[in-house]
Amino acid sequence: MSEPPPQRGVPPPPGSRPSYPGPMTYMGIGMLNAICLLGGGALGWLADTAAGTLPLFMLLGLLGGAGLGIAGTRAELRRRG
């Protein structure tokens, strides 16, 4: 037999975790993505100024930062969810 569905308006038992990530988790994910994008762009810009190829490494750094942000977001949501 399956369990009955939870009743509306009934609070969860004490000590149980909510089944969804809280708002602070989403704020942390936003900060993680911002740091990854800014860090990748900044490292790419530094590499571009050293090599003299202005948009190339900055764009690669932004793409790498976006990839790291996506991977970090997936890992965080899997850990919390």
Count how many domains the chain has: 1
Considering the domain boundaries, does residue 9 fall inside one? no
Which tokens is 61 given? 């750094």
Tens of pLDDT, residues 58-72: 999 999 999 999 999
Residue 11 is assigned to a structural domain of this protein: no
C-alpha span between 8 and 5 (Å, rounded): 9
Look at residue 74 and tell me whether its pLDDT is greater than 90: yes
17: in domain: no
Within a domain: residue 25?
A: no
Domain holding 48, by residue range, is 41-81
How far is 76 from 81, CA to CA, in rounded Å? Answer: 8
d(CA 29, CA 71): 11
- Digit-coded pLDDT (tens) for 23-71: 898 999 999 999 999 999 999 999 999 999 989 999 999 999 999 999 9
